[in-house]
Amino acid sequence: MKLSTPLVLALFWHSVSAAGDLISPRGIIFDSAGNLLAVQQGVGIVGFTLNTDGSAKSRKTVLSNTMLNHGIAFSADGKTIFASSSNTA
């Protein structure tokens, strides 16, 4: 994701790109294994495994559905992913 202005951090802080090819995320969550899942506008649900520094190790499209572009959540037991469009879940 490209920022329109430079990122300014406090002294002694640094940043890394967790998912450089993640464009227009509408919602993000982490699963119990620490993987990042996102609803990406125009794609659907994408998942990233992360390195120890938080950068993306690998990317996978979990569900290709361009209508899913709003929110993402897990069920209470963590076994089901819920995602929504602007008018359906």
Tell me the per-residue pLDDT of 28-64, one tens digit each, with 9 for 90 and over. 999 999 999 999 888 999 999 988 887 888 999 999 9
Q: Which residue has the higher pLDDT, 81 or 69?
A: 81
**Separation between Cα atoms, residue 48 and residue 77, nearest integer Å:** 21
DSSP-based three-state secondary structure for 44 = strand
Tell me the per-residue pLDDT of 7-27, one tens digit each, with 9 for 90 and over. 777 887 766 665 667 777 888
pTM of the predicted model over 0.95: no
DSSP class of residue 58 equals E
Terminal-residue alpha carbon distance, the chain:
25
Phi, psi of 57, rounded to the nearest 5 degrees:
-90, -45
